[in-house]
Each structure stands twice: as C-alpha cells, then as structure tokens.
Amino acid sequence: MAQMNKYQKEKPIIGDDERSGSNNLNPVSIIDAKTTNKAVFNDYCNNMAITAKNPHHPKLSILLKHLKDCHNIGIDIGAGTGHVSDCIIKQDEKNNYISRIYAVDMEKCFIDSIKTLNNNKIITIQENACKDHIFSLLPKKVDFLIFNSVIHELISYGCNYNIEQFWLSIWPRWLSIINNNGYVFVRDFIGVNNSNNKPITISIKRKNKKNYQQIKEFLKNFKKDWKTPRKELNYKWNKKTSIIKFKNYDILLEVLLSFRWGHLNKLQYDGVIAEQFINFNTNSLQYYTEKHGFKLIDYQYYLGQDYSNTFNKYFGINKDIQSHLHSKGVFLFQKCT
C-alpha cells in the first residue's frame, strides 16, 4: 500500500477546506460543441492524442503497468477524445486482456471524436456521470474505472459545486460497481495538503509588455467574474511592485491554473470562471475511497510541461514555492477482497 504522510490519515472536514455550495448556474465547459471554434477543438484533440501515445506520461504509466491481469471490462468516465482508452487497448493488443471499455462523456463533440478512432472495443455513451440513469446503460460490475481529469468537472458541472454531494453520494455509487481486486484510477488537479495558510507571494514578469498586459487584464477581471460559491479568491495584487500575495497554495494553484487556460481567449475564460480546478486534496480522495474498501497502491504528482512553461513565462516564482506546485496528481486504488 502506498503510504502518505500523517496528514493523510486524518478525516477531512467538509466545510473547512472543502466548503460545499449550490446555485442555479448553468456553466459551460471549456470545450463545448456549440461554441468551440473547430480549429481550437482539433488542436485540443491532437494534443490529447500526442499525450496518449506516450506510455511514460504520468497519467498513463500508472495505468498501463497495472493493467496486466485479466481485467477485461472498464469504464472511462469523462473520456474526452477517447485517446486514453484507445491507448490502453492498443497497449494490450498482445495480451488481449481487455474486451471493452465504455467511454462516457456528456459532450457530443467528444463522443463524435471517439467514434473517429474506429476502435471496436470502445463503446460510447453520451451521458452525465452524476445522473443515476447512467447505470442502466452500463454493466453491473466492471474491473476498472478511469476518472481522467474529470472529478473537478463532475463537482463543478454535475453537482453544482456541492462537494459533499459528490463524496457522499456519487462517488460511492461508482465505487460500488468495481469487482473485488479491481482498480480505480484518478488523475486530476489536486490541492496542497496541510497548507499552513501563510501568505505566499509571486511576482509578475514585466519585460514583455504584451505578456504583462495579459496578466493585468486577467487579474483585474478574474476575481470579480469568479462565479463559484466554494471559496473566496483571497489574493492581493500590488500594481506598483507587481507582487501578488495569496492566502495559501490552493488559491495560488486555482489562479495559476485558471490563467493557464483563461488567458488564451474569451471562450476559455468564460469556462474557467465557472469551473473549480482545486476541489479536493489527496487527504480527501484517500479518505473517501478507502472507507469503501479500497487501498491506495500507487500515486504520483507532476507539473505538466505546458503548465510549467506558462508559469515561467509570465511569473517569477522562487524554488521553494515551485517545489510545492503540481498541476496534477495520478492515483491508483485497488478494491480489497
């Protein structure tokens, strides 16, 4: 079993670092069939394909090294372009352990993209993974589940930011369909555990006037446009010194990740102001999974190269702070018999 530090064994308190909330927003995801420019969508799909073809990428290396037993039915929740499922099946061609993967996504543009892969072992289902109806379309039991960068979306869009609803109702329902010794893979944006809540400061690079203007516009608008009830965006920007002070690492990560996507164009900005990237930390994920009979057997944190490039291009971040930053965490849990 993978061992976490002592803070991982403490029960997380909903209402402290994970306040639940609800409202009547109807948020639009960053990639949406009705509004996304075709070139932008095609570029997104191509990037996903390149990542999926690299078996050493953190999100695939943990998956592939454990899918070597005869676990033959899986579900990819929030499958997106389908390239992760496609890659797993192709890596398995010699062994033929996998008979099929159900690729679930609520966006028609992604379902259409998956179909172009022409992989007859992938069965597409266009449905909201937070709705009970979806289980009538799936096998009663499966050998593995994949939540590939989708939990934060399920909480944002499927649960209307109600984190308690997700952990106490939706998450257990999905875990209940995994066979004994089966796996659940999670890759997602992850908060920093045991934050000491001391203020954290970074600087804005000013040499490139165009880049600096982008950051100014983003920071000026982001706090007032922020639409989610989960947390206050507690940061202060000193325009004279170009120093930004954040309450803790989770707020820093939320803003940096939102900037990574939101500064590119108006469409993606509209997406990030309605989407919470940092909804939970490892403590929460481990607690709410292990209480249902699972053990954490592998995990890895990493900062994607595209995020690292963006952060270094626009911001001055010292090494100590950089050592705490990661864009994603990848986790593998196994169901105990």
pLDDT of residue 208: 87
Instruction: Residue 93: name the closest of 115, 131, 67 by CA.
Output: 67
For residue 15, tell me if it sits in a domain: yes
* Packed helices 38-52 and 58-66: angle between N→C axes, nearest 10 degrees: 50
Three-state DSSP state, 200: strand
Mean pLDDT over 139-150 rounds to 92
pLDDT of residue 323: 82
pLDDT of residue 51: 58
User: The domain containing residue 285 runs over which residues?
Assistant: 6-192+279-303+326-335
Residue percentage of the chain with pLDDT more than 70: 77
**pLDDT above 70 (res 181):** yes
Helices (H), 92-208: 108-115, 151-153, 163-165, 171-175
Give 231's pLDDT tier (boundaries 50, 70, 90).
low
Mean pLDDT over 282-302 rounds to 92
Give 144's pLDDT tier (boundaries 50, 70, 90).
very high
Tell me, what CATH number does 101's domain have? 3.40.50.150
For residue 41, tell me if it sits in a domain: yes
Number of domains in the chain: 1
For residue 253, tell me if it sits in a domain: no
Report the range out of 3-7, 23-27, 302-306 with the highest average pLDDT. 302-306
Instruction: Residue 147: name the closest of 174, 107, 185, 173 by CA.
Output: 185
User: Within the chain, how many helices (H) and strands (E) appear?
Assistant: 13, 11
* pLDDT tens string 41-100: 555 556 655 555 555 565 667 777 776 666 589 999 989 888 888 888 887 777 777 889
Give 104's pLDDT tier (boundaries 50, 70, 90).
very high
Give 146's pLDDT tier (boundaries 50, 70, 90).
very high
pLDDT of residue 277: 85
pLDDT of residue 46: 60
Give 332's pLDDT tier (boundaries 50, 70, 90).
very high
pLDDT of residue 315: 92
The span from the CA of 303 to the CA of 253, in Å, is 11
**Strands lying side by side in the sheet with 235-238:** 235-238, 243-246, 200-204, 315-316
Backbone angles phi, psi at 63, to 5 degrees: -65, -50
CA count, 13 A, side-chain hemisphere, 314: 22
Give 34's pLDDT tier (boundaries 50, 70, 90).
very low
Tell me if 150 sits within 8 A of 290, measured CB to CB: no
The span from the CA of 275 to the CA of 161, in Å, is 9
**pLDDT above 70 (res 198):** yes
pLDDT of residue 196: 62
Mean pLDDT over 143-163 rounds to 87
Residue percentage of the chain with pLDDT more than 90: 29
**pLDDT above 90 (res 225):** no
Question: What average pLDDT does the structure give for the chain?
Answer: 79
pLDDT of residue 234: 79
For residue 217, tell me if it sits in a domain: no
Question: What is the torsional sign of CA 94, 145, 132, 111?
Answer: negative
The span from the CA of 246 to the CA of 223, in Å, is 13
For residue 75, tell me if it sits in a domain: yes
Mean pLDDT over 216-232 rounds to 78
Tell me if 226 sits within 8 A of 284, measured CB to CB: no
Tell me if 83 sits within 8 A of 59, measured CB to CB: no
**pLDDT above 80 (res 328):** yes
For residue 270, tell me if it sits in a domain: no
* pLDDT tens string 113-138: 999 999 999 999 999 999 999 999 99
On the 0-12 / 13-18 / 19+ scale of CB atoms within 10 A, 321 is middle
pLDDT of residue 48: 56
Tell me if 240 sits within 8 A of 224, measured CB to CB: no
pLDDT of residue 25: 30
Backbone angles phi, psi at 75, to 5 degrees: -130, 130
Instruction: Residue 65: name the closest of 73, 56, 52, 74 by CA.
Output: 56
Q: With a threshold of 0.85, does the pTM exceed it?
A: no
> Tokens 């990428």 sit at which residue?
57
For residue 212, tell me if it sits in a domain: no
Tell me if 181 sits within 8 A of 188, measured CB to CB: no
Give 261's pLDDT tier (boundaries 50, 70, 90).
confident
All residues at 6 or more sequence positions from 147 whose CB lies less than 8 Å from its CB, including other chains: 77, 78, 184, 185, 186, 187, 188
For residue 250, tell me if it sits in a domain: no
- Quote the radius of gyration of the chain (alpha carbons, Å): 20
